[in-house]
């Protein structure tokens, strides 16, 4: 894979007629090291956020050796990392996935949120006695930008009984939850951990693992989370007050926070109509969240020669993707120079989480070039205060 200092050099060097994903492995490695240094327990990477081999290898080499997987393709990918430990944290799974993961790939950790799933795991593993069973309990998504309420989680009335029955089948027992994606307030973790502690008391059962799930945030225009240190402080404080023994482990499952900064996409402007730009990637590609969640991503524009588009006047643009579907619309606003027009290029940053993995081939689109970029992401949770301000100013130009 070719390596470039920044997107400008890609535009100058390559005839960019299809979108190009710029991978920043150093950003993923930095995020991984931060979690390993600061989270007071075991960090599992949620593979669903970005499963490209280079990112997986980068995280592994940085020290992430535990992975949250949810399907056989994910299991097979992680199996290629010697020494990696897999945990199937999807609460509802096909029997074949459980059986293959357990018997063929050595997976011993399975999440569940119902009696039926517990029975399924027992049957598919042949009544195995070496299981780590993690009960997922329901919780509100009060502080998150994307709610994950409703689909998974044992409700308050059922959780204690399920915890007790899982304890009977498990060599190691855990409890987990997910407070939603892009958690914007650290207090959300403390709130749920206090509820989980009540579940444990009501179940009157020894618990070996408390897993706070994912939800750790990334930076986007208009979404400035507090420093990640505050999340660690909140989790550590709440965990210390839980009704668990001193040997209880603490886990987390970050996805977005580890990889959001690791990729951007370089797109071409095919047309301009007023304050709307038509580009060659969109809602059915790497920019799913920009369309369906109406999130804004950092962006900067270049001429066909790779020169930043001139002009001090910044204009809010909406973007249309390349397909024939009118739903292929990204309302933004994306702040770009007023001179941005057909033939220009735009680098859209921080799409490393849930970008490429959401892309399909609707209407014949969804194919990408790939390069490695050596510069910094446009916005970062891992830079210090001065660097964060510099990156914010740079991405607004």
* pLDDT at residue 396, rounded to an integer: 47
Confidence bin at 59 (pLDDT 50/70/90): very high
Average pLDDT over residues 336-357: 96
Asked if pLDDT for residue 384 goes beyond 90, the answer is: no
Asked if pLDDT for residue 142 goes beyond 90, the answer is: no
Average pLDDT over residues 374-382: 96
Q: Give the closest residue to 112 by CA, choosing from 60, 150, 159, 79.
A: 159
Asked if pLDDT for residue 386 goes beyond 50, the answer is: no
Q: Are strands 132-136 and 85-88 parallel, antiparallel or unpaired?
A: unpaired
Confidence bin at 391 (pLDDT 50/70/90): low
Asked if pLDDT for residue 57 goes beyond 60, the answer is: yes
Q: Within a 10 A sphere around the Cβ of 156, how many other Cβ atoms? A: 14
Least confident of 83-87, 198-202, 376-380: 198-202
Average pLDDT over residues 88-113: 97
Long-range contacts of 57-60 (CB under 8 A, 24+ apart): 57/81, 58/25, 58/28, 58/29, 58/32, 58/262, 59/28, 59/29, 59/32, 59/258, 59/259, 60/84
pLDDT digits 0-9 by tens, 268-296? 999 999 999 999 999 999 999 999 999 99
Peptide bond into 333 cis (omega under 30): yes
pLDDT digits 0-9 by tens, 147-164? 666 677 898 889 999 999
pLDDT digits 0-9 by tens, 18-45? 999 999 999 999 999 999 999 999 999 9
CATH topology of domain 90-252: TIM Barrel (3.20.20)
Asked if pLDDT for residue 330 goes beyond 70, the answer is: yes
* pLDDT at residue 178, rounded to an integer: 83
pLDDT digits 0-9 by tens, 189-241? 998 899 999 999 999 999 999 999 999 999 999 999 999 999 999 999 999 99
The three-class DSSP label of residue 184 is coil
Q: In this prediction, what percent of the chain has a pLDDT beyond 90?
A: 82
Average pLDDT over residues 106-126: 97
Q: What's the rounded Cα separation, in Å, for the pair 164 and 293?
A: 38
Average pLDDT over residues 106-134: 97
Average pLDDT over residues 238-256: 93
Q: What is the CATH number of domain 3-22+260-396?
A: 2.40.37.10
Average pLDDT over residues 163-184: 91
226 token code pair: 């507090």
DSSP string, 218-278: --BTTB-PPPHHHHHHHHHHHHHTSS--TT-EEEE--SHHHHGGGEEEEEEEEEEETTEEE
Q: In this prediction, what percent of the chain has a pLDDT beyond 70?
A: 94
* pLDDT at residue 335, rounded to an integer: 96
For the chain, what are the domain ranges?
3-22+260-396, 90-252
């Amino acid at each position: 894979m070719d390596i470039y200092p920044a997107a400008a050099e890609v535009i100058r060097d390559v005839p960019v007629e299809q979108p190009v994903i710029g991978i920043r492995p150093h950003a993923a490695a930095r995020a991984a090291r931060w979690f390993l240094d600061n989270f007071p327990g075991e960090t599992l990477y949620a593979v669903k956020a970005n499963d490209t081999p280079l990112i997986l290898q980068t995280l592994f080499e940085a020290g992430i050796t535990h992975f949250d997987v949810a399907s056989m393709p994910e299991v097979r990918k992680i199996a290629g990392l010697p020494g990696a430990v897999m945990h199937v944290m999807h609460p509802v799974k096909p029997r074949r996935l459980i059986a293959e993961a357990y018997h063929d790939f050595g997976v011993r950790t399975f999440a569940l949120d119902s009696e039926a799933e517990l029975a399924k795991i027992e049957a598919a593993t042949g009544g195995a006695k070496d299981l780590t069973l993690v009960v997922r309990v329901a919780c509100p998504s009060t502080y998150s930008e994307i709610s994950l309420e409703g689909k998974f989680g044992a409700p308050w009335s059922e959780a204690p009984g399920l915890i007790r029955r899982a304890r009977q089948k498990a060599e190691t027992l855990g409890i987990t939850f997910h407070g939603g994606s892009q958690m914007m307030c650290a207090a959300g973790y403390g709130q749920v951990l206090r509820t989980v502690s009540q579940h444990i008391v009501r179940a009157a059962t020894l618990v070996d693992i408390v897993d706070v799930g994912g939800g750790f945030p990334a930076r986007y225009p208009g979404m400035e989370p507090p420093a990640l240190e505050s999340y660690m402080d909140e989790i550590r404080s709440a965990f210390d007050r839980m009704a668990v023994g001193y040997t209880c482990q603490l886990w987390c499952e970050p996805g977005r926070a580890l990889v959001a900064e690791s990729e951007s996409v370089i797109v071409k402007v095919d047309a301009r109509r007023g304050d709307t730009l038509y580009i060659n990637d969109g809602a059915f590609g790497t920019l799913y969240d920009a369309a369906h969640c109406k999130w804004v991503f950092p962006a900067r524009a270049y001429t066909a020669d790779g020169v930043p588009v001139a002009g001090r006047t910044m204009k809010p643009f909406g973007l249309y993707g390349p397909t024939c579907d009118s739903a292929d619309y990204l309302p933004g606003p994306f702040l770009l120079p007023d001179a941005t027009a057909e033939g220009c290029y735009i680098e859209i940053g921080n799409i490393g989480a849930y970008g490429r993995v959401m892309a399909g081939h609707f209407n014949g689109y969804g194919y990408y070039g790939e390069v490695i970029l050596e510069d910094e992401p446009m916005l970062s949770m891992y830079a210090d205060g001065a660097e964060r301000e510099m990156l914010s100013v740079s991405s607004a130009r």
